[in-house]
Structure 1
């Protein structure tokens, strides 16, 4: 998975412009990478994160999709 694929997953999971998604992870490093990519997408202005929670086996992301051309 990379940043672009994460954005595609968030678009599919969104209802209107709000998304709430729990993504399974294999290792702690996977979770840190997903959190880093979400932060980069937020800096680029494509999403606005309200919540990013690392759980034992997943990463929970909740936020708002901003305009992002496909």
Structure 2
């Protein structure tokens, strides 16, 4: 998964500008990769993450998709 795929999944899992998405993971490397991609999207100001929950076999993300760019 790359940041473009993650952003598409977030946009598909959104209502208006709020998103809620649970991404299945197989290994801790997958979890770390998702965390890095989320940080990149936050620094690029594409999303604002409100909640990030590490579950046993998935990662739950909840936040806001930012449409306007500066």
Which TM-score band (shorter chain)?
over 0.9
Q: What root-mean-square deviation, in Å, do the aligned CA atoms of Structure 1 and Structure 2 show?
A: 1.3
Q: Which runs of 5+ in 2 are unaligned?
A: none
What's the counterpart of residue 51 of structure 1?
51
Q: Which runs of 5+ in 1 are unaligned?
A: none
What's the counterpart of residue 6 of structure 2?
6
Matched position secondary structure for 2:16: coil
Give the distance between the partners of 2:58 and 2:52, measured in 1 at CA.
11
Shift of 1:68: 6.4
Give the distance between the partners of 1:44 and 1:68, measured in 2 at CA.
12
Q: TM-score, normalised by structure 1?
A: 0.93
Q: Which runs of 4+ in 1 moved over 3 A?
A: none
Alignment length, in residue pairs?
Answer: 69
